[in-house]
Structures are given as C-alpha cells and as structure tokens.
Structure 1
Amino acid sequence: MAWPILIALTVPVTALLLWLHVPAALMLGPLVAGIAFASWGGQVRSPVSIFAVAQGIVGCLIAKMVPLSIVGDILGHWVLFSTGVVSVLVASCGLGWLMTRLQILPGTTALWGISPGAASVMTFMAEAYGADIRLVALMQYLRIFLVAGIAALVARVFGVSSSYGAAAILWFPEVHWLSLGETLALAIVGPAVARVARIPAGAFLVPMVAGIVLAHLGFMTIELPTWLLAASYALVGWNIGLRFTRPLLVHAARALPRILVCTLILIAICGGIAALFVLVAGVDPLTAYLATSPGGSDSIAIIAASTNCDVSFVMAMQTVRMIAVLLLAPVLTKFIAERVKVPPGG
C-alpha cells in the first residue's frame, strides 16, 4: 500500500501548486508529499535505477533547450563564470570553517554538510572523517529542498506567466515514437555509463552532455511528451523528499534550528552574489539567482525549464560549479578539516 498512499498524497498537493501557478509544481508537489510520507514513517521500495533514469530524462530536457555553443559561451564569459563559481566555493568553505571552529554542530559535520553540491559524495566522505553522517545528509538534502522552494518563489516573482499554469498543460501530445525511443535509450544508457565509470552526478550530466552533442549535430531528436516529464519530475521530487525519514528527523531535532539557519545563510550569500551579477554584469534577476543557487542541479534545471530565464546560462553555471565542487570541495574540505582544532569527542 505504500506507493498508492504516496501517490494519493502527491496528487492533491501537486494539483494545488499547479492551480497556484507555482513553477516546477510537478516536482515540488511530489517533493513535499515525499517529505510528509517519510516523516510519518512511510517507506517505499523502488530500484535506484528508476530514479537515475528520471534524472537522465531531466538531462535530456536540458540538452534539448541548451545550444551546442554553451562551451563557447562559458569560454567567452570565463571571468563571470569563474567569479560565480569561486565566490560560492569560498563562501561555503568560509562558512563551514567558521561553524566548525565555533562548534555549532558536532565535530566537522558543518564543514561537510555546507558544501554547495555533490551531496552524496560529501555524505560518504564525511563518515570517514568522523562527522555525523546523518546530520551531514540532513544538511545536504535540506539545502536542496530549500533551494528548490526559494528558487521557485523567486521564479514566481520575476519570470513566470500564466502560460505555465495547469490549464496550459497538454498531457498527451502527439508523439514521434522513434524519437521517443532514442530519448529513452539515452536516458537509460547515460546513467548506466555514469554508474560503471563512477561519474558523480553522472545520471544527470552524461545524458545532458551527450544529448547536447547528439541532438544539435543532427544524430537524434529529443522527444519528451508531457506525461513522461511529469513522471520524471515526480521521481526526482520523491527521491529528495523520501530522504527525510522519521529516524533522521528525530536524530536531528535538536540541531535542526542551527542547520536551518546555516543553510539559509549560505543561500542568502549566494543571493548576494546573484545581486552582484545583476548590478555589474546586467544579468536578469531570475537567471542570476538560479545560476548561483547552491546545489540541486536537477531540481534547478526543472525550475529553469518552467520559466523564461536564460536556461543556457543557468545550466552552464550550475554545471561548471558542479564540476568544480566534485574536483575541489573534497580536497578543500579535507584540508580545512585536518587543520581545524576540534575538541576531544567532538
């Protein structure tokens, strides 16, 4: 009965968000329902590969929207991209160092939990350094939840028209089945390749990069009917929401206010960086905010796709930062963790 109950919770929440014209309602509704379901003790069993394929489909969606010239755009605006990526990394490392020195959370938990991306990598590495892996996981996925919710709110304020409401959705459009088969093949094979090659966040990145190249060189046509996107958005939302289990929330109850404050501070700092992009570089507010949001690339991709922002800019910045976090954050976090003096038993 687990899946029927979860779906029964999801449908009215999603319908309400669609009625309110909330951006990415098809993802946020399942996300909220997943949190409610998991926090009440509910559990569902599902192969991990299903969630990976859903991420692959979101990667295909971005590949369809982002031009092949994205690499040239990054190189042409390397100062802006470098500034954005380095600023977010410096802010997260500085905040993590301060929180660790002040022992706001036990041991080096804050240092690992505040990293702006690569949630699963940071969670696994944290355990090896004696941090509280459950609090790290909560920090990572709470940030993804908050980033998604706040980004949707910002999108609602700056960039969404009524055309994104429920009335405008055509659930069962005409489908080109050969193109749909090619798209599904990419969404399935891409995550499988990423898993074999052990590419972090590869379930999303590999189909996105391969899709950009293949689609824009004319080797395939990406076909994504609304019903398929809706199912994928729901799986992405559930994948985040179902992590907020009752044991995790009970364990983190005392630390939750501090975790929430620290997470909101990081989001606010990234919002300040976005404001500088608007003032100095003339980037529109919605694009700047989504581009600098700390983590949750697949959820940000879904929100960006439902708005009229510059999707290419957003995903280029998110992708560059994700790669930088995967390469640099573990090294920087280890470096800081080994030099921060943690009290005995911390």
Structure 2
Amino acid sequence: MPARLAQLPAPLQWALLIALALLLGLGGRLLGLPGSSLLGALVAAIGLSLVGVSIRMPRRIYVASQGLVGCLISTTITAAILHSFVEDWPYIAAAALGTLVVSVLLGWVLSVGRVLPGTTAIWGTAPGGASAMVVMAEAYGADVRLVALMQYLRVVCVVGVAVFVAHGLAIASPGAAPSLSAAPTRPEAVAAAVLLALLGAWAGRVSRIPAGPMLLPMIAGATLQSAEVFQIQVPLWLSTIGFGAIGFQIGLGFTRGVLAQAAAALPKILLCIAVLIALCGLMSVALAHALGLDPLTAYLAMSPGGIDSVAAIGASSGADMSFVMALQTARMLVVLVLGPPLARALSRRSGG
C-alpha cells in the first residue's frame, strides 16, 4: 500500500490529501472542535505521510499562508478590546505575564527532564493561538511537529474543561449571547487581506525577521484597521486554505519515529496541561476578586486555550467578551514578544 501511494502521480496524491483534509475538517467543525481546518489538514497529512505519500508543500505557499494567519489574527484586535485594555491594563498585563511564566516553567521542566528536546517543550506549552505558536516555534528551531501535537492537545483539553465550566457558570442564556455568525463577505476587504498577506509575508521573508511572514501582516493589519485606513476580512474559505497549508507542511514531515517519541511523552505532557489549566483557574479567582468580575468572565479570560475557541465559548454563555478578548489578545502578544528570549534562555539552562 505505501509503495503504491508513493507511485501515484503528484496531482492524485494532492487530490487525496485535500479531500481527506476537507472531510476531517468538516467533521471537526460539526463536532465544534476549534481550529478544525488546521487539525483536519494536520491529521490527514500525518496519516498519508505515514503510509507513503511523497508530495511536499511548496515553501512559497506555506509562507503566504503564514501571512493569511497574521491577517486573521489582526482582525481580532478591535476598538472594544483596546478600550478594555486601556481601562484595566495593569491587571491584564499581570495576568498575561503570569500565564506566560507558568507555561514556560512547565515547558522548562519537560526540557530538563529530557521528555522533549530544547525549545520544543517550551513552545509546546506556550499559551496563545495554537497556529501562531506553531509558526513561531519553527522560526526558532523547535521541532514543529511535536509543538503542533502539544498545542492542539492542550486546546482540546482546555476547551473540554472550559465548556464544562461555562455550563456551570453561565450568566445568560445562549439566545441572549452575541452572535458569532460569519459577517457578509465584502470582496474589497477580502482582496485587501490577500494583498496584505502576500506583501507582508514577502517582506517578512526578505527581512529575515523570525516568524516575520506572520508577524508583519498581523502588526500592519491591526494598525491600519485601528487607524481606519481600510478594513480587511478573512472569510472561512480563505482561512481554511491558510490553515490547511500550515497543516500540510507540518503533517507531511511526520515519521513513525516522531509519533513514537510523542506517545512516550504523552503522560507527562497531559500532566503539564492539567497543571496549567488548574493554575490558570486559580489566577482567575484572584482576577475576579481584584476587578469585581463575574467568575465566568475571569475564567475564560485566563483560560490557556486559543483565542477562537475562547471566543466561541464565551459568546454563547454571556461573558464580558471585550475583557476576555483583551486579555487573550494581550497574552498572545506578550508570548510573541517575550517567548523567543525566554525560550532561548531556558533552553540553554536545560542544555537543550
């Protein structure tokens, strides 16, 4: 079977991979899994890689997809989030830094214990958008395959706990919650996003800034939208292409050896995830007390999952979404800025 797959023409291998990725992504979406587009592409690529496909993702497409992810992230930084941050910035900054310190220390423990190599453990436990952490990890020399597995395993665990907590602490009925339905597609905003993604990704690659193909479009998009120069929009079909390319790039590099290494480390990884969720929960209690927040808003704000999954859960349970997204966004930005030097320093100390 593996030999036959490898002998198929490349277009047929790509058709098989894309069809399987779309099927798995649709299944994940129906189940309500966050990041289903990337997860579907990642699982499909891993499966077909292990049974012998020989195709590889063109580097230019992968770089352009990072630009799309950067544009998508920039659309989450809204005026309401900025206003919430200005009002409560000392608490938001402290909470973001606290989560980063806890996660990096847990990653360092995995690295010192030789559970995972070098910066891989540290980036694998870093809180924030999973896709962004995967891109950053590759830029700083981590094993992006293991980082992706750790990140999405954590997201699944965090979402499961957060749904349970939100159900118990819900302060409004789902019908009263803000809607997360897709906004009408505006062709000019989509075209602006594509142009910004391509130019930003090219500039990031040429400048050799680590993770520049994602960071430059993200910063430019957030700045231009806040200044109301123009608006960008990344509809579902476009984000599916971007996340799919990233999933293919990572998944097609998997080997049986990498999966065996991940399986051996799985119990300790799950323990670290449980500790991280518990500590973030404790910090949310302190945050609720300090700012007089309702427990659900504080918990979701501190939840170490991805921005998209937290937004979906919060919007269906009546939490204060401007505060939740302000803290989630601030933490992701803190990780993007402070993560690289912390990862290098702790990796050197652990001998990784």
- Shared fold, TM over 0.5: yes
Match of 1:328 in 2: 342
Match of 1:149 in 2: 156
Match of 1:204 in 2: 214
Q: Secondary structure at the match of 2:75?
A: helix
Match of 1:130 in 2: none
| 1:183 shift after superposition | 1.5
Specify every segment of 5 or more residues in structure 2 that has no aligned partner in the other structure, as ranges: 1-11, 127-132, 316-320
Q: 1:313 aligns with which of 318, 327, 335?
A: 327
Match of 2:309 in 1: 303
Structure 1 Cα separation of the partners of residues 94 and 105 of structure 2: 16
Matched, 1:192 2:187: no
Q: Note if contact 1:57-1:232 (Cα within 8 Å) is conserved in structure 2.
A: yes
Structure 2 Cα separation of the partners of residues 58 and 100 of structure 1: 28
| 1:65 shift after superposition | 3.5
Match of 1:230 in 2: 240
Change (3 A) 1:68 1:211: farther
Q: 2:98 aligns with which of 87, 93, 97?
A: 87
Q: Note if contact 1:183-1:222 (Cα within 8 Å) is conserved in structure 2.
A: yes
Corresponding residue pairs, total: 316
Q: 2:121 aligns with which of 113, 116, 130?
A: 113
Amino acid at match of 1:223: Q
Structure 2 Cα separation of the partners of residues 276 and 42 of structure 1: 51
When structure 1 is superposed on structure 2, of 206-215 and 137-146 the one drifting more is: 137-146
Specify every segment of 5 or more residues in structure 1 that has no aligned partner in the other structure, as ranges: 127-132, 295-299, 339-345
Change (3 A) 1:273 1:123: farther
Match of 1:337 in 2: 350
Amino acid at match of 1:303: S
Change (3 A) 1:291 1:27: farther
Structure 1 Cα separation of the partners of residues 47 and 69 of structure 2: 24
| 1:184 shift after superposition | 0.8
| 1:260 shift after superposition | 4.3
Q: Secondary structure at the match of 2:233?
A: coil
Match of 1:245 in 2: 255
| 1:188 shift after superposition | 1.0
Structure 2 Cα separation of the partners of residues 114 and 41 of structure 1: 31
| 1:182 shift after superposition | 1.9
| 1:239 shift after superposition | 4.3
Structure 2 Cα separation of the partners of residues 284 and 261 of structure 1: 25
Q: Note if contact 1:32-1:241 (Cα within 8 Å) is conserved in structure 2.
A: yes
- State how 1:135-146 maps to structure 2 within 5 Å: 137=144, 139-146=146-153
Match of 1:343 in 2: none
Q: Secondary structure at the match of 2:309?
A: helix
Amino acid at match of 2:154: V
| 1:316 shift after superposition | 2.1
Structure 2 Cα separation of the partners of residues 219 and 337 of structure 1: 46
Q: Note if contact 1:91-1:266 (Cα within 8 Å) is conserved in structure 2.
A: yes
Structure 2 Cα separation of the partners of residues 206 and 284 of structure 1: 36
Give me the TM-score of the superposition, normalised by structure 2: 0.70
Amino acid at match of 2:205: R
Structure 2 Cα separation of the partners of residues 58 and 36 of structure 1: 24
**Fraction of identical pairs, as percent:** 27
Give me the TM-score of the superposition, normalised by structure 1: 0.71
